Structure 1
Amino acid sequence: MKIIFMGTPDFARAALEKIIEAGHEIQLVVTQPDKPKGRSGELQISDVKACALEHNIPVFQPVRIKLPENVAELKKYDADIYVVAAFGQILSQEILDIPRLGCVNIHASLLPEYRGAAPIQQAILDGKKETGVTIMQMAAGMDTGDILTQRTIPIADDETGGELFDKLSVLGGELIVETLPRLERGEITPVPQDEEKATKCGKLSKDMGRIDFNESSETIRNLVRGLNPWPSAYTTLGKKTFKIWKAKSLMELEFRQIAKELNDGADELRQEAVNDKKAGTIVGVLKDSFIVLTGDGYLQIFEVQLEGKKRMAVKDFLLGYKLEVGTRLGPETIQ
């Protein structure tokens, strides 16, 4: 098939590589303009552009794809279909109508669930046990088009947003390659999305990572793994930002079993913290972790990063930092 591919980040690159491997003719790659990075302001190309250059595929980088001159550029090609994956711009109906087979999108959720920008991370934040990829016939709305194909995978209990991202990018590439020939042969019956089951998710932001220890232990644990590696879950220790990279939720019985390893008086402190409802209080320090009181139980923390330091296991962190039982984490510790 003759294809125009639209995408920007590494999630989209995996799909582009699979389509190239399958022998389709990529007439043009459309991606976001190069962006300045870091203090130097040096321009950085997208992952999709890098892939296109490696395969000598022409690249088009419009600031606004909807502008008449950019639509005219697309019309110069006789593509059978446009394949879109995390492109970062909304396509107009005029663009959707150009190719004879329309435009299809690779979306990293089981639509109609999690329409929007961050479906991978949101599935973990919500504690979902499974997710998947949808190939969708694009319509003018945000992820509202008919479903062509879907594939489901489980979410492991300790899986991070980054790990799930990698798995779904590979799955998306596999599924689009399977879908394209079936679509061309007319073997797929599009299925309209059930609007009553539709949910939305917005873009990720750094503010999302601030931990509220009044939340449940499981909610905080899901925040930690869902926002790993970006934007990350964080609190404060003293006046410094304190990132939490790996944690486990504990209920009362589990805590009591671990309490045997704690210092004398820790259990009394724990009870005092519970009575005063001081969520965020450190109620136990072990050799390889420490335990924090939450809204409904406890959070055992195994990997951290203090502002200005490297990410490290708690057992290593404790070698250079004396963490006291009774210390309270959170923005209220900043003077």
Structure 2
Amino acid sequence: MRIVALGTGPFAVPTLRLLADSGDAELLAVVTRPPRGRRGEPAAPMALAADELGLPLWQPESVNLAESVERLAGYEADLLLVCDYGEILKPPALAATRLGGINLHGSLLPRYRGAAPVQWAVLNGDAETGVSVIQMTPGLDAGPVLGEARTPIDPDETAGDLEARLAAMGAEVVQRVVAELAAGAAQGRPQDGSQVSKAPRLKKEHGLIDWSRPATQIKNQVRGLQPWPRAYTFAPQAKGEPLRLVVDRAEATDADGAPGEVLEADERLLVATGEGALELLEVQPAGKRRMAAAEWLRGAKLSAGASLRSG
């Protein structure tokens, strides 16, 4: 099976490595999104992996340009393998290979179609998620499912930790689907349109904590927004503007108070929410390193009765 792999971010790297190491496919090239030109910006994870594996690297401005489609066709590949690429492929690009394209997606489709499926599964407090490999069509993440794998989500697992697990799981599913396609045995399952949900790209504003929400939901927000954009609130200071305080680890518990009210601020930092309370375990105050909340409290001059704000 002759394959051109399209990917940019880290989610695609385990799949590339597994196919390269197994020898199950002939990898003709790796296509990544080009650098954005920011000084000091590190190379894309897939670009680094391609270099390490000795694979040809191509970074077009758009894979959908006529000259890009022509180059894709020139590889005479059997299949495009797309994962964490960053651009939606249009029909001419998908038609540049014998079998079109397959895509590895970090959810159990049709749930969480879109750019941030892993994060939204954690944000919503789901107990289970998985990966899907689909035959690509013009619709966003809408093609027939060729293979999938399921896994429970640990109640304390962050989106970053879960994404790493799913990337490894997904590599094995892709390997199986590629073998089935090579044997002519792959069978696609149409997605149930009535079960579609969306997973839009995250923004920094998603990190702002609304203390009127239940503690369990805020904990999920803290977990789901790591490593980016991270959950945050604002703490009062004796002088000046409130301090932006990133919350990196927290635990929901039972306690009552007005939303945002600091219930304890000595050995632990306990904050009331709209339902229950949230103990902040690890924080990062603006301009400082990440630390245990108890360590921050020793110099923060925050006392019970103060209020954390949502802006």
Q: Distance in 1 between matches of 2:27 and 2:147?
A: 22
Q: 1:280 aligns with which of 245, 260, 273?
A: 260
Q: CA deviation at 1:220?
A: 0.5
1:212 is aligned to 210
How many residue pairs align between the two structures?
305
1:243 is aligned to 246
Say which SS state the counterpart of residue 111 (structure 1) adopts: coil
1:34 is aligned to 35
- TM-score w.r.t. length of structure 2: 0.95
**Residues 222-254 of structure 1: CA deviation (Å, up to 9, x unaligned):** 000110121000001122210111111123xxx
2:147 is aligned to 149
Indicate how the Cα distance of structure 1 residues 174 and 286 shifts in structure 2: closer, same or farther if over 3 A, else same: farther
Q: Distance in 2 between matches of 1:43 and 1:70?
A: 25
Return 5+ residue gaps in structure 2 as ranges: 237-241
| 2:298 equivalent to 1:298 | no
| 2:127 equivalent to 1:129 | yes
1:108 is aligned to 106
2:3 is aligned to 3
**Residues 162-209 of structure 1: CA deviation (Å, up to 9, x unaligned):** 100110111111211122111221222111100000111110111100
Q: Which portions of structure 1, spanning 4 or more consecutive aligned residues, are displaced by more than 4 angstroms?
A: none
Asked if the contact 1:35–1:45 (Cα under 8 Å) also holds between the matched residues in 2, the reply is no
Compute the RMSD of aligned alpha carbons.
Answer: 1.3
**Residues 37-91 of structure 1: CA deviation (Å, up to 9, x unaligned):** 4xxx135321111111112211111112111111111111111111000110111
Q: Distance in 1 between matches of 2:157 and 2:54?
A: 36
Q: CA deviation at 1:331?
A: 4.1
Q: Distance in 1 between matches of 2:232 and 2:41?
A: 29
Q: Distance in 1 between matches of 2:266 and 2:193?
A: 49
Asked if the contact 1:36–1:44 (Cα under 8 Å) also holds between the matched residues in 2, the reply is no
Return 5+ residue gaps in structure 1 as ranges: 256-269
Equivalences for 1:19-58 in 2 at 5 Å?
19-23=19-23, 24-37=25-38, 41-58=39-56
Q: Distance in 2 between matches of 1:215 and 1:317?
A: 24
Q: CA deviation at 1:300?
A: 1.2
Q: Which amino acid aligns with 2:285?
A: L
Q: 1:307 aligns with which of 277, 286, 295?
A: 286
Q: Name whichever of 125-134 and 239-248 sits farther off.
A: 239-248
Q: Distance in 2 between matches of 1:286 and 1:145?
A: 54
Asked if the contact 1:28–1:60 (Cα under 8 Å) also holds between the matched residues in 2, the reply is yes
Say which SS state the counterpart of residue 74 (structure 2) adopts: coil
Q: Distance in 2 between matches of 1:128 and 1:55?
A: 36
1:12 is aligned to 12
Q: Distance in 2 between matches of 1:126 and 1:296?
A: 16
Q: Which amino acid aligns with 1:131?
A: T
Q: CA deviation at 1:213?
A: 0.2
Q: 2:115 aligns with which of 95, 108, 117?
A: 117
**Residues 96-133 of structure 1: CA deviation (Å, up to 9, x unaligned):** 12222220000000000000000000000000001000
Q: Distance in 2 between matches of 1:69 and 1:307?
A: 47
Identity of aligned residues (%): 37
Q: Distance in 1 between matches of 2:180 and 2:266?
A: 56
Q: Distance in 2 between matches of 1:331 and 1:110?
A: 33
Asked if the contact 1:35–1:44 (Cα under 8 Å) also holds between the matched residues in 2, the reply is no
Q: Which amino acid aligns with 2:35?
A: D
1:90 is aligned to 88
